[in-house]
A and B are shown apart, each in its own frame.
Chain A
Amino acid sequence: DTGVSQDPRHKITKRGQNVTFRCDPISEHNRLYWYRQTLGQGPEFLTYFQNEAQLEKSRLLSDRFSAERPKGSFSTLEIQRTEQGDSAMYLCASSSRDAAGEQYFGPGTRLTVT
């Protein structure tokens, strides 16, 4: 069990560019979550996958955001036409069906849009 991993750890991009982040959950976990954390705030829910199905998206997730989990394993989060307001830490978490709610978090990807 190597834990939840995220790549890249840091990303600096110019406004208007597209970025993609990857999350590798713990291998036997069927649930995967994306959260966004801005400075001084707690993480906010973005979207949720159960296996490969995306079951819920937050209203925070504008049309410029898309997430996939094609084979029920790793997941990607893409942001198109980035804006300065997208600057944040993007956290991925995973959990198993029997975990009684416990989610395991990755180290996050810190995005800076200049």
Chain B
Amino acid sequence: AQTVTQSQPEMSVQEAETVTLSCTYDTSENNYYLFWYKQPPSRQMILVIRQEAYKQQNATENRFSVNFQKAAKSFSLKISDSQLGDTAMYFCAFMNSGGSNYKLTFGKGTLLTVNP
């Protein structure tokens, strides 16, 4: 079974600064995806960024980028130029792409607060 660990329950950052959220995972699979999802207060979860395990290049989406270290099973999220709208719970998630059930396994989340 896969496990996902987010060791930072809460973090805060000043507007316009950069923050990094940590995630580690454990799996014996070789083919998988990793995700960061954002859940704003009282709003639905949306995908922030996705990384395929077979790709060595780190994924980027505008102000969001990841540092994927496959051997270390580490998958951190960097948010640059933080904005007030980035305030949310952030969940790291794992998906085994080699099976027939593409369920997500989530970490417990990190509550990020962006301060003005």
Contacts and interface: CB of A to CB of B under 8 A. Distances in A.
B60 to A, nearest CB: 16
Nearest to A47: B103
Interface string B96-112: 01001111111111000
In this complex, the member of B50, B91, B95, B104 whose beta carbon has the largest number of chain A beta carbons within 10 angstroms is B104
Nearest to B32: A101
A104 B50 CA distance: 13
B44 interface: yes
A105 B103 contact: no
Contact of A42 (B33, B46, B100, B108): B108
Contacts of A44: 106
Interface residues of A, number: 26
B16 to A, nearest CB: 28
B112 to A, nearest CB: 15
B4 to A, nearest CB: 8
Contact of A31 (B33, B93, B97, B102): B102
Contact of B101 (A40, A41, A48): A48
A44 to B, nearest CB: 7
Contacts of A55: 100-101
Interface in A23-75: 31, 33, 35, 40-45, 48, 50, 55-56
A72 B45 CA distance: 23
A55 B100 CA distance: 9
B46 to A, nearest CB: 7
Given A101-B33, A101-B35, A108 B44 contact: yes
B44 A102 contact: no
B95 A42 contact: no
Contacts of B46: 105
B52 interface: yes
Given A48-B101, A48-B103, A56-B101, A42 B44 contact: no
Interface of A: 4, 31, 33, 35, 40-45, 48, 50, 55-56, 91, 93, 95, 100-108
